[in-house]
Chain A
Amino acid sequence: MEIYLPIAEVSLDVLVLLALGGVVGFLSGVFGVGGGFLLTPFLIFIGVPPTVAVASSANQLVGASVSGVLAHWRRGNVDFKMGGVLLAGGFVGSLLGVWLFSLLRRVGQIELVINLSYILLLGTLGGLMLIEGTRAFLRGRKPGAGRRKLHQHNWVHGLPLKMRFRRSKLYISALLPLGLGFFIGILSAIMGVGGGFVMVPAMIYTLGMPTAVVPGTSLFQIIFVAATVTILQAINNRTVDLVLALLLLVGGVIGAQIGSRMGSRLRGEQLRIMLALLVLAVAIKLTFDMTATPAHLYSTAFVQ
Chain B
Amino acid sequence: MRRAAARALSALALLAGLAAAPAAAEPLVADLTSHLIGITGSFTGDSVVLFGATDGPGDVVVVVRGPERDIVVRRKRQVAGIWVNAKEETFAAVPSFYRIASSRPLDAITTPAVRAFHQLGVDDLRLVPTRGPLRPEDQPFRAALIEEQQRDNLFGKTVGKVDFLGDRLFRTTIRFPSNVPTGAYLVQVFLIRDKSVVAGQTTPLAVSKIGLDAEVYDFADRRSAAYGVIAVLTAMVAGWLASLPFRHA
Which residue among A10, A231, A294 has the maximum number of chain B CB atoms within 10 Å of its CB? Answer: A231
**For the complex, is A297 an interface residue (Cβ under 8 Å from B)?**
yes
Contact between B72 and A300 (Cβ–Cβ < 8 Å)?
A: yes
Interface residues on B, range: 35 or more
> In whole angstroms, what is the CA distance A116 to B240 when docked?
36
- The smallest beta-carbon distance between B212 and chain A, in angstroms, is 8
B228 and A234 contacting across the interface, CB-CB below 8 Å: yes
B:3-57 near A, CB below 8 Å:
39-45
Near B by CB (< 8 A), chain A positions 67-112 give 67-68, 70-71, 74, 108-109, 111-112
Of all chain B residues, which has the CB nearest A73? B243
B69 within 8 A of A: yes
Chain A stretch 55-75: residues in CB contact (< 8 A) with chain B: 59-60, 62-68, 70-71, 74
Q: How far is the CB of A44 from chain B (nearest CB, A)?
A: 14
Contact of A2 among B178, B236, B238 (CB under 8 A): B178
Whether B69 and A257, one on each chain, are in contact in the complex, defined by CB atoms closer than 8 angstroms, is no
Contact (Cβ within 8 A) A4 B213 = yes
Chain B: minimal CB distance from A62 (Å): 4
B236 touches A233 (CB 8 A): no
Kindly state whether residue A249 has any CB partner on chain B within 8 Å: yes
Cβ–Cβ contact B220 & A299, under 8 A: no
Tell me the smallest distance from the CB of A152 to a CB of chain B, in Å: 36
A238, B221: Cβ atoms under 8 Å? yes
CB contacts (< 8 Å) of A233 on chain B: these are 228
Cβ of B192 within 8 Å of any chain A Cβ, yes or no, is no
**A1-25 near B? 1/0 per residue, CB < 8 Å:** 0111011011100000000000000
Report if B239 contacts A (CB, 8 A). yes
CB-CB contacts of B182-225 with A at 8 A, as 1s and 0s? 10000000000000000000000000010011101100110011
**Any B CB within 8 A of the CB of A240:** yes
**A245-B235, A303-B71 are known contacts. Are A235 and B228 too (CB-CB below 8 A)?**
yes
Cβ A303 vs Cβ B69 within 8 A: yes
* A302 touching B69, Cβ below 8 Å: yes
Task: For A66, give its contact among B182, B209, B236 (CB under 8 Å).
Answer: B236
Query: Does A243 reach chain B (CB closer than 8 Å)?
Result: yes
Closest to B74 in A: A299
CB distance from A270 to the nearest CB of B (A): 22
A4–B235 CB distance below 8 A? no
Cβ of A48 to closest chain B Cβ, rounded Å: 11
Chain A hits for B175, CB < 8 A: none
The reply to whether A235 and B239 form a contact with Cβ atoms under 8 Å apart is no
**8 A-B Cβ contacts within 8 A?**
A2-B42, A10-B178, A235-B228, A242-B216, A242-B234, A297-B75, A300-B148, A302-B71
Given contacts A223-B236, A253-B243, 14 further A-B contacts (CB under 8 A): A4-B178, A4-B213, A6-B216, A66-B235, A67-B242, A71-B246, A109-B84, A112-B82, A227-B236, A230-B231, A230-B235, A235-B224, A298-B144, A298-B145
